[in-house]
């Protein structure tokens, strides 16, 4: 199954945190990393009194079901030192979100896919568009058409990426 993951960090060398998360995801049984976007410096969302974030998107192939994939992602976050403070949009060492899981719609207590509000967030759509701007977000439209309505003026690609 094809899935799309969003990564973000703004603490303790965020570029290195994202590189480490990509590496760990690629080492998990049942996950193969197919594509990694550039890394983007983005302004904070929600709680704006914090450092800028570094964000990226991964396309993966997985044999895991959505909840098992979520558990793997959370295990990596925990192993990397993620502390869940309860501050929904606060600073983070690493954040890995399941954005899309094939064309499935999941509205469970532990997981909602497509990821809520991803269609409104340039820091998700810009790296996603780099990989596939024709990708359909069910109920909202293509990544490229959604991105055309968002302000990306404060988001820029970094020279460093998962391979750099």
Selecting among 68, 82, 103, 151, the annotated active-site residue is 82
Domains of the chain, CATH where assigned: 2-157 (3.30.70.560)
- CA dist., res. 9 & res. 13, Å (int): 8
Selecting among 41, 97, 112, 159, the annotated active-site residue is 97
Q: Does the annotation count 97 as an active-site position?
A: yes
User: Rounded to a whole number, what is the largest CA-CA distance in the chain?
Assistant: 39
pLDDT at 110 over 60: yes
For residues 140-158, average pLDDT: 94
Selecting among 88, 95, 112, 121, the annotated active-site residue is 95
Selecting among 24, 41, 92, 121, the annotated active-site residue is 92
Predicted local distance difference test score (pLDDT) of residue 25: 97
- CA dist., res. 48 & res. 37, Å (int): 24
pLDDT at 163 over 80: no
Q: How confident is the model at residue 47 (pLDDT cuts 50, 70, 90)?
A: low
3-state secondary structure the chain: CEEEEEEEECCCCHHHHHHHHHHHHHHCCCEEEEEECCCEEECCCCCCCCCCEEEEEEEEEECCCHHHHHHHHHHHHHHCCCCCCCCCCCCCCCEEEEEEECCCCEECCCCEECCCCHHHCHHHHHHHHHHHCCCEECCCEEHHHHHCCCCCCCCEECCCCCCC
pLDDT at 92 over 90: no
Q: Is the pTM of this model over 0.85?
A: yes
Predicted local distance difference test score (pLDDT) of residue 160: 66
pLDDT by residue (tens digit) across 13-44? 999 999 999 999 999 999 999 999 999 999 98
pLDDT > 70: what percent of the chain?
90
């Amino acid at each position: 199954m094809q899935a799309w993951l969003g990564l973000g960090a703004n603490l303790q060398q965020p570029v290195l945190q994202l590189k480490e998360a990509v590496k760990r995801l690629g080492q998990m049984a049942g996950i193969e990393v197919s594509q990694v976007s550039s890394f983007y410096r983005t302004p904070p969302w929600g709680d704006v009194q914090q450092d800028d974030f570094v964000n990226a998107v991964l396309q993966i192939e997985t044999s895991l079901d959505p909840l098992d994939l979520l558990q793997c992602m959370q295990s990596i976050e925990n192993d990397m030192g993620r502390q869940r403070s309860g501050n929904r949009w606060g600073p983070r060492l690493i954040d890995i979100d399941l954005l899309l899981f094939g064309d499935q719609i999941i509205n469970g207590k532990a997981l909602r896919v497509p990821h809520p509000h991803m269609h409104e967030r340039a820091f998700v759509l810009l790296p996603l568009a780099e990989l596939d701007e024709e990708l359909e977000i069910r109920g909202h439209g293509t990544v490229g058409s959604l991105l055309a309505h968002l302000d990306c003026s404060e988001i820029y690609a970094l020279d460093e990426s998962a391979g750099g």
